[in-house]
Amino acid sequence: MLPWIVLAGFLLVVVRLFRSRRTSRLPLPPGPKGLPFVGNFWDIPGDFEWITYHKWCKAFNTDILYLNLAGTPLIVLDSYEVVNQLLEKRSAVFSNRCLDFVSVIRVFLDTDSFLSSRPQFPMQSELMGLDFNFAFMDYGPKWQKHRRLMHQHFHAGASRLFLPHTLKSCRNLLTRFLDIPDDVLGNLRQMAGETIMAIAYGIQVQEYNDPYIDIAEKAVHTLLAAGAPGKYLVDTFPILKHVPEWMPGAGFQRKAKEYKTLARTMFALPYSAAKQNFASGDSPACFTSRCLESLACAKDKAFFDEEVIQNNAGAMYVAGSDTTLSAIASCILGLLENPQVIKRAQEELDRVVKPGQLPSFDDEGSLPYITAITKEALRWRDVVPTAASRKLLIDEEYKGYRLPAGSIVVPNAWAILHNEDIYLDPFEFNPDRFMTKDGKLDQAVFDPERACWGFGRRICPGRHMAFSAIWINVASMLAVFDIKKAVDEAGNVIEPSHEYLSGLVCLPKPYKCSITPRSKEAEELIRGYANSESSQD
């Protein structure tokens, strides 16, 4: 085997030298001119940077943009064509491994390395202690174990085993809207947290002020605060991670210390409870209990251990809570501006769902317009506007441009999902764009799920579960509630602000609306479900 490795290494060096000489003559992709030393570091806004990226691409008439972050190349991919070419078809060259001889050989000899990895940001992975999240791990055996375990439990077929948890949380949400109709984001946050806690840990959370959800929400916001490349100076100049927190300008160290405590508490507290429940035989079916059972049966033959289980369970909450909240909250905003969509959706629901029943997942195939609304919510105000960044392993050439090794690569999903050439009036909330004239889903329209969950082998493994959660909550709310703009005491309509918080996950700011039962029968249906659940408990 060794002679083959040596030969492969020699050939690889020759190829790299040839490629380097060839690509070194090529120009970099276009982009705004930067300042000496810092480049474009100060040009990138701290909020909604994906919009600025797209404006620059328009100004330079390009779908591949080059920026210089104080010596670190940053490349923005602004169209599906370039994302597909570089992150799908050429994924082998996008890895954040060290660019040393052995690593490069492994990439070309190991077929599994035709994947995309992540650049490591010191603020996240080292200072904040978020290295447990496999979505941001470097490629390698550790990442493979985490990804394999997640895929086993959340591929399209396996994820359906967790649908009862999703359905229960959804119907609890309906009751909360009866009791607290004005707290839209609070109700959705409780539902999302309840869903993830049940699926990941089998924990049935308290209806209000649950300690697990409280600590998890605080911890999740730490990741969102540090998610974008260049958000903190230490990510561009890693040597700053050694600066003591008492020094002027080292506020990021104090933040990281606080964030790390929150993240580790979120990581350990629910897992410990789930493990105790499993040991006592009092654990409902959930990700943790199923994994612990498999581990006990396989013993030393298992490809994973408890660390992998605990890491994945924690990553599930990070990935699934605010994303579900954001998608449904944005959907409601879109519905408020388009009452005709609500009317058509309710007509479909009344036709399909039997009287005296709430929508279930068995109805999904018969409710294409609800599916169209869900897809439009994912497209219109996409939850993660810039998909998680990658890192280029070796010099690459594309469209006559030189893409330098070590570049951070940012796919601009927002630009893809608001492309005027793909979607007519892309900033309008219009589910009909996904429907044919005969009332079926139009398969010819670009499906937003091709961009909103990420790309390539690094695509979100929980996407099937996430789509189901959004779909059933949208269907259920429209089935039993009228959703309208709120009015003040004088009868004046209160227009939603449509303001958002910028971050790795984009969240709408709190807004007011009117959510009321469509009828007395609808209210009794919701209460009846709540009462039946209480009697079973």
Mean pLDDT in runs of 10 for the chain (537 residues)? Answer: 52 52 79 92 91 97 95 94 85 48 41 46 74 76 89 91 94 96 94 93 83 78 60 76 79 80 82 92 90 90 92 85 92 98 98 95 97 98 89 86 91 97 97 96 96 86 94 98 95 94 89 96 92 61
Can you tell me the distance from the alpha carbon of 295 to that of 305, in angstroms, rounded to the nearest whole number? 7
Which of helix, strand or coil describes residue 64? strand
Contacts of 457 (CB under 8 A, 6+ apart): 91, 114, 115, 116
pTM above 0.85, yes or no: yes
Scan for tokens 């070796």, then name that residue.
394
Contacts of 194 (CB under 8 A, 6+ apart): 169, 172, 205, 213
Can you tell me the distance from the alpha carbon of 83 to that of 73, in angstroms, rounded to the nearest whole number? 17
Can you tell me the distance from the alpha carbon of 499 to that of 129, in angstroms, rounded to the nearest whole number? 31
**Structure-token pair, residue 140:** 């390698």
CA distances from 315 to 100, 150, 303 (A): 30, 10, 19
**Structure-token pair, residue 524:** 């009794």
DSSP string across 405-464:
TT-EEEEBHHHHHT-TTTSSSTTS--GGGGB-TTSSB-TTSPPGGGTTT-SGGGS-TTHH
User: What is the CA 128 to chain-centroid distance, rounded?
Assistant: 19
pLDDT for 216 equals 78
Q: What share of the chain is helix, strand, coil (3-state, %, to 5)?
A: 55, 10, 35
Which of helix, strand or coil describes residue 231? coil
pLDDT for 283 equals 81
Nearest CA to 348 out of 475, 434, 443 is that of 475
Which 8-state DSSP code applies to residue 86? Answer: I
Euclidean distance between the first and final Cα of the chain, in Å?
Answer: 61
> In the chain, count of helices (H) and strands (E)?
18, 10
Was 513 annotated as part of a binding site? no
pLDDT for 110 equals 37
pLDDT for 115 equals 31
Q: Is 399 left (phi over 0), alpha (psi -120 to 50) or beta?
A: left
How many CB atoms within 10 Å of residue 5?
Answer: 13
pLDDT for 248 equals 78
pLDDT for 91 equals 60
**Structure-token pair, residue 290:** 């199923």
Scan for tokens 């990439």, then name that residue.
107
Per the CB < 8 A criterion, the answer to whether 78 and 85 are in contact is no
pLDDT for 537 equals 53
Burial state string for 74-113 with b = 16 or more CB within 10 A and e = fewer than 16: bbbbbbbebbbebbeebbbbbbbbeeeeeebbbbbeeeeb
Can you tell me the distance from the alpha carbon of 480 to that of 107, in angstroms, rounded to the nearest whole number? 54
Can you tell me the distance from the alpha carbon of 64 to that of 337, in angstroms, rounded to the nearest whole number? 34
Continuous segment of H or E residues that includes residue 468: helix 463-480
- Kindly report the CA angle at 358 between 217 and 526, in degrees rounded to 5? 70
Can you tell me the distance from the alpha carbon of 369 to that of 364, in angstroms, rounded to the nearest whole number? 10
